[in-house]
Structure 1
């Protein structure tokens, strides 16, 4: 009887295990294997060598690109957290009826009904030298000449990242806040806590799982993105995703695979560090 139950359990888990093996584990294993291969200008040959990793770790460009990637990720995380927490707090505690909460939340998702690339490119005519932003500032007398740094700069890249990924911070934080027992907040006020003290000692600690989930989403998406950096910087800036994309365009697949492995390990380390601050499985 026990063997039959175990067999049924294994059979039930088998389809999911096959999907994970075929679409997650196998591709990662293939990337790791290819990262040790060699390449010339005209061919790729199977091998087991560390030339790709030695080149990456020995090049100062690699460190500059990773630094830029972390810079984009940290700044985007800070801005999306500030905006996302504020929106989620407003929806969870200042909107009393669930129907209005749902409507306002759906309004936040409307931009996601269009392509990321379309939403990103829409900033270009707004931020351009003769764009809406510069023309408005000139007409108001704020500036005399157009601002050059609005477009094709780190500012434009981070602005696009924040626009694209803020909702990934709003959703988990709102989902956590909406389940906070309102009697805890009332008890804090009854005991003389101010609004800031209630926020600091009650709401934020109870919202940590949502903050961590949103942080993981935003950080991993920004670190793996490459098209946003390419378009919004005018190909003047680079991150790890662009480094991989450039290697692929040059048919240097082993080098691209090695960079992808390093990026994957870096992201996993970042996620591991984040999970040290809160036990998401326990608190959810």
Structure 2
């Protein structure tokens, strides 16, 4: 009987497995195969060479791009975690009304009513050399010359990432916090625990699954992004996504495929480390 149940469950999973194979696994396999091909200015040459990976891994430009990407990912994760945890904690534990929680949470989603490009472009008239921020600071006499680091810099790139992805940290942490049994907090208060002790020893450990899910969202999106770096960096900053975009623009598809495979492996290693830190199945 167990064999029959097992076979039926396998049959039920076949449609989803077929979809994953067709739209996820197969394209990755194609990219992997192409990454070993040769190419010239006009043609793709089916072959098996390691030149694409050798050029990629020995190039100082690649290492600098990965360093920039890791920097963006870490800073974005750190800031979005601080903001996301604070916002989620406030909504979950300081707003008693369910309606008020819903309204405030919907307010957080308002930026998503427009596209990412529009939201990024909206920073340019604010942060530019003659933007509103510099004009305001100069008008108040706080600065004599415009601040040039506000736009087309690492600062503006990270700022745009935080603006774009904070909600992806808020939502899973908020959902996790809402499942915390409030009796645990009441018991801790009755036992004389201080607010910071409750936060550190109860709320934070029980929110690990939400933090992990939010971290996965933020890190994977930053690692693979190129639009934000190109737009907010003014073409003066590089990332792994920008390198892949440039290679595709130059029709260097095997080199771009090799870069994509290395990026995929890098992200998978980072996710593996995260899953080692938090047992998501146990937490959920």
TM-score class normalised by the smaller sequence? over 0.9
Q: How far apart are the structure 2 equivalents of 1:279 and 1:3?
A: 30
Q: Which residue of 1 aligns with 2:225?
A: 225
Q: Which residue of 2 aligns with 1:106?
A: 106
| 1:4 CA drift (Å) | 5.3
2: CA distance between counterparts of 1:6 and 1:206? 34
* In structure 1, distance between residues paired with 2:191 and 2:184: 11
Distance across 2 between alignment mates of 1:116 and 1:24: 24
State yes or no: 1:261 paired with 2:272. Answer: no
Are positions 1:138 and 2:138 aligned together? yes
Which residue does 1:174 correspond to in 2?
Answer: 174
The aligned residue for residue 203 of structure 1 is 203
What CA distance in whole angstroms lies between the structure 1 residues aligned with 2:183 and 2:86? 21
Query: Which residue of structure 1 lines up, in the alignment, with residue 128 of structure 2?
Result: 128
**Deviant stretches of 4+, over 2 Å:** 1-11
Q: Give 1:8 shift.
A: 3.3
Give the SS at the match of 2:31: helix
Secondary structure of 2:207's counterpart equals helix
Structure 1 residue 9 displacement after superposition? 2.6
Q: Distance in 2 between matches of 1:159 and 1:5?
A: 52
* Deviations, residues 127-178 of structure 1 (Å, cap 9, x unaligned): 0111111011111111111111110000000000000000000000000001
- Aligned with 2:55: secondary structure? helix
Provide the C-alpha distance between the structure 2 equivalents of 1:281 and 1:115, rounded to a whole number of angstroms: 34
- 2:149 corresponds to which residue? 149
1:244 counterpart residue number: 244
Q: CA deviation at 1:224?
A: 0.4
Residue 281 (str. 1) matches residue 281 (str. 2): yes
How many residues align structurally? Answer: 284
Q: How much does 1:189 deviate?
A: 1.1
TM-score by length of 2: 0.98
Partner SS for 2:277: coil
Question: Within 2, Cα distance between the matches of 1:15 and 1:154?
Answer: 44
TM-score, L = length of structure 1: 0.98
- Tell me the C-alpha RMSD between the 2 structures: 1.1
Query: Per-residue deviation at 1:106?
Result: 0.9
Does residue 51 of structure 2 align to residue 51 of structure 1?
A: yes
